[in-house]
Amino acid sequence: MTFPVQKTDDEWQALLQQRGAEPVAFQVTRHKATERPFTGKYERQWADGSYHCICCGNKLFDASTKFDAGCGWPSFSLAVLGAISEITDTSHGMKRVETVCAQCGAHLGHVFEDGPTDTGLRYCMNSASLNFTPT
């Protein structure tokens, strides 16, 4: 899959450092790592605003769609239209749907069909892949 924003690993690392990203952000966004549950800076945040891709700034979620799933990662019921691409993920002996930024391909997390709202979706995201902008 090709994305509009392309950079080398060195360029992504420099950009993430410049943005003050968490140390694990490069491994999460560019190499599909997962932060430990209940450790991300946005897991317990409930302020008004929006969540953007830490790599390219693409708006991904409105804070009004965030809910406490009790899973240890920030969870959202609805993504901004066209902001996220979905990829079948069969790693670790499971079949899941990986979510990536539609602009730069950054790994964000996974989406599951067990959400509590009318969408039925739970976008389970790594805090390290997100940047919050308050309103």
| Amino acid letter for position 15 | L
Antiparallel, parallel or unpaired: β 96-101 and 107-112: antiparallel
How far is it, in rounded angstroms, from Cα 30 to Cα 121? 24
101 catalytic, yes or no?
no
Distance, in Å, from the CA atom of 53 to the CA atom of 84, rounded to the nearest integer, reads 10
Phi-psi category of 57—alpha, beta or left, where left has phi over 0 and alpha has psi -120 to 50? Answer: left
Q: Vertex 89, ends 88 and 94: CA angle to 5°?
A: 125
Active site (catalytic) residues: 124
